[in-house]
Amino acid sequence: MIKIDDYIPVVGQAVIDDLKRVSEKLKDKKIKNINSTPVGGGVAEILSRLVPLLNELGVLTYWDVIKGGKSFFEVTKKFHNAIHGKKEEINKKDFEIFLEVSEENISQMLVDEDIIFIHDPQPIALIKKKKDNRWIWRCHIDASNPDKKVWNFLKKFIINYDAAVFSAPAFSSPLPIRQFLISPSIDPLSDKNRELSKEEINAVLKKYGILKDKPLITQISRFDRLKDPIGVIEVYKKVKKNIDCRLLLAGGTAVDDPEGMEVYNEVLEKTKHDKDIIVLNMQHNDLEINALQRASDIILQKSIKEGFGLTVTEALWKAKPVVASNVGGISLQITHKYSGLLCYSIDGAAFAVKQILNNPKYGEKLGQNGREHVRNNFLITRHLKEYMLLFLSLYYKGDINNI
């Protein structure tokens, strides 16, 4: 188990001392996080790192998961896409399914802690159980242009919370409750982000039969249409006309995403005749993902919509040059031509990839700048502090430094 003091070599003693001082103010509070899946996706990944560290700091923190069947998660996937602005056919029956399963969770879920921290739309209706405790709704997805019908439906629940949290300024909207901006983070000491030896990296490449005889372009993401894996293939094909290279598409699926296997099979069909495209369905093997990122020459993240894009953060932390779509929280991480290259199209992404492959020193500089940007802004220690200050803000008014 990683301890809070293990982060001192990464962020410095003063940062850790600050965390300990803030945590003292929360010794008498209990916090419960609730989301829709224990594994798969960025929310579960972040909670799996934050919850143990909060407890080690003395802040009693729990994590629970709602229940839901196939039909419920099909509806919440539609909600997810609709909040991102994608057109979805959502009818009265969909809302009825959502409410029916929500009522079952409301009847079964215990929410007696001082602070209830709800993540994303799936468990949002639990607010009906609010009594004299404090409730926070955390939106991890891009809500800058949501479908009005879905957003208005969810808003009926949101307005009963004490606070809402978004990942980027553009995601917020007029609400009668307090709103906070808190970006996600990565854990630099987790298996997905810690330093690896050449031997560890080579062992993973050998396991999957990946040769390093030509540049390796990689996108690591859930198999989700909003991550645009088909678009990534088109980028690779354009680059391939000028530079002999190899493409790796690696990722997995989540319990609450019924479209995952369908998209994965579409990718397999699209790539079956190209021996230089490798498609890996990897379920939650963080160390191998780490090794594949470190073995890559360029990391792509060609999302159509993106709440934040932690795979971008991970790649930047590994000092890799990143070419990514200028959507959602990605623009908070990449300053164009400084810490990576932003793109708006398949042609733009292909041009950026070729630019880096033709000038490796430029790619190296982008990677170095990206790593320092993550060190200063997107590590778990910053996330811990901001969450604890958020919790405190629910109880105190005025200058939080005088608590």
The single-letter DSSP state of residue 134 is: E
- The predicted pLDDT at position 401 comes to 54
Whether residue 178 is found in the same domain as residue 216 = no
Whether residue 326 is found in the same domain as residue 344 = yes
- The predicted pLDDT at position 338 comes to 97
Q: Are 145 and 85 in contact (CB under 8 A)?
A: yes
**203: amino acid identity, one letter:** A
Whether residue 267 is found in the same domain as residue 384 = no
Whether residue 335 is found in the same domain as residue 391 = no
Does the residue 268 lie in any domain?
yes
* Nearest one of 384, 380, 383 to 55, comparing CA atoms: 384
- The predicted pLDDT at position 398 comes to 59
Q: Are 49 and 187 in contact (CB under 8 A)?
A: yes
Whether residue 179 is found in the same domain as residue 224 = no
Does the residue 387 lie in any domain?
yes
* Domain extent for 236: 198-377
Q: Are 319 and 304 in contact (CB under 8 A)?
A: no
Terminal CA-CA length for the chain:
31
Whether residue 26 is found in the same domain as residue 166 = yes
Neighbours of 74 (CB within 10 A): 16
Written as six digits, the tokens of 222 are 């859930």
Whether residue 178 is found in the same domain as residue 285 = no
Whether residue 213 is found in the same domain as residue 236 = yes
Whether residue 174 is found in the same domain as residue 226 = no
**pLDDT (tens place) for every residue of the chain, 403 residues total:** 789 999 999 999 999 999 999 999 999 999 999 999 998 778 999 999 999 999 999 999 999 999 999 999 999 999 999 999 889 999 999 999 999 999 999 999 999 999 999 999 999 999 999 999 999 999 999 999 999 999 999 999 999 999 999 998 989 989 999 999 999 999 999 999 999 999 999 999 999 999 999 999 999 998 999 999 999 999 999 999 999 999 999 988 766 677 888 999 999 999 999 999 999 998 778 999 999 999 999 999 999 989 899 999 999 999 999 999 999 899 999 999 999 999 999 999 999 999 999 999 999 999 999 999 999 999 999 999 999 999 999 997 655 555 5
Does the residue 192 lie in any domain?
no
Does the residue 68 lie in any domain?
yes
Does the residue 13 lie in any domain?
yes
Whether residue 100 is found in the same domain as residue 237 = no
Whether residue 321 is found in the same domain as residue 219 = yes
User: What does R_g of the chain's alpha carbons equal in angstroms?
Assistant: 21
* Nearest one of 208, 257, 283, 251 to 77, comparing CA atoms: 257
Q: How far is CA 27 from CA 52, 275, 364, 387, in A?
A: 15, 57, 44, 14
Neighbours of 183 (CB within 10 A): 17
> The sheet that has 60-65: what strands, in order across it?
60-65, 30-35, 115-119, 134-138, 163-166, 178-181
Residue 247 backbone dihedrals phi, psi, to 5 degrees: -115, 135
Instruction: Report the alpha-carbon distance of residue 3 to residue 228 in Å, rounded.
Output: 37
- The predicted pLDDT at position 396 comes to 78
What 3-state class would DSSP assign to 52? helix
Instruction: Report the alpha-carbon distance of residue 108 to residue 119 in Å, rounded.
Output: 18
Does the residue 240 lie in any domain?
yes
Does the residue 191 lie in any domain?
no
Angle between helix axes 310-317 and 42-56 (nearest 10 degrees) is: 70
Domains: count for the chain: 2
CATH code for the domain of 27: 3.40.50.2000
- The predicted pLDDT at position 81 comes to 93
Instruction: Report the alpha-carbon distance of residue 357 to residue 215 in Å, rounded.
Output: 8
Write b or e for each residue in 221-258: b if 16 or more Cβ atoms lie within 10 A of its Cβ, otherwise e.
bbbbbbbbbbbbbbbbeebbeeeebbbbbbbbbbbbbb
**302: amino acid identity, one letter:** K
Neighbours of 364 (CB within 10 A): 14
Whether residue 163 is found in the same domain as residue 213 = no
Distance of alpha carbon 356 from the chain centroid:
26
Does the residue 96 lie in any domain?
yes
Query: CA angle, 175 as apex, 325 and 115 as ends, to 5°?
Result: 95
Q: Which residues contact 201 (CB under 8 A, 6 or more apart)?
A: 291, 294, 295
